[in-house]
Structure 1
Amino acid sequence: MKKKKLLHSHSIDFDLIDQWLKNYFLDPKTLHEDHTQFKIDIYETNTDWIIAAFLEEFASSEITVKVEDTSLKITAQKHSYKFPSPFPKHFRSIDFPFSIINHDVKAFFENGTLEIFISKSNIGHGKNRFITLP
């Protein structure tokens, strides 16, 4: 199966990405949310940006991942048979300096770590969407 490539019009300013990553990790809000919600790390490889969210206390069925234009939204909440749920909802949103809906996004959850891969070269659906965890 041949992979689709991003069109030239979807090219990314990698200097802008580097500055965005520096700003993200220096932002006091990031540190606060790492302690009050759940910890997130962001990595970069030659082919992907990788977001790792540490959700040891949750099952994959209790986690949702949504791509909305320039944002990646991760929500985790324990299942409950009561309404309203007695368990707090944990939420993180990462705002990228480019539209991520145009990129292929995949997510995997194993041993309490959610890994989300945003492809640098393969195109996505171009729509807001939920990412299914296997």
Structure 2
Amino acid sequence: MKYSCVELNDLPDEILLIIFKKLNNLEVLYSFQGFNERFNKIIHDSMFTSRLSFPQLSFKKCIKKFSSDIILNRFCSQILLTIRTKIKCLDLESESMRNILDAADYPNLYALGLYNIEEETAK
């Protein structure tokens, strides 16, 4: 039996979309943003960018607070700026709300979900 070496970049766009749809869209954006021009085009599809749910960001569950701050900073300083016009819905929690809302203008945002937030903070 012969073994062949197939890399992720060798797969057709259709297969990559099938794979990426099975993953959390925030993780896809974080992991592949800036990887190459082709991947940027694929991950900027509306299926990954129209609704972002930060309370479900699984990175926070498995890494230290310091690392999650680095991830949030990258989202705010790089990723959100490139997809801000495609975002239609944001789900936020009090811990990251200010950073994400201050990171960019979201001209097409029509829904905002707030989770784990004090009433006074929401006001």
TM-score (norm 1): 0.25
Pick the structure with more strand per residue: 1
Structure having the higher helix fraction is 2
- More contact order relative to length (CA 8 Å, sep ≥ 6): 1
Structure-2-length-normalised TM-score: 0.26
Larger radius of gyration: 2
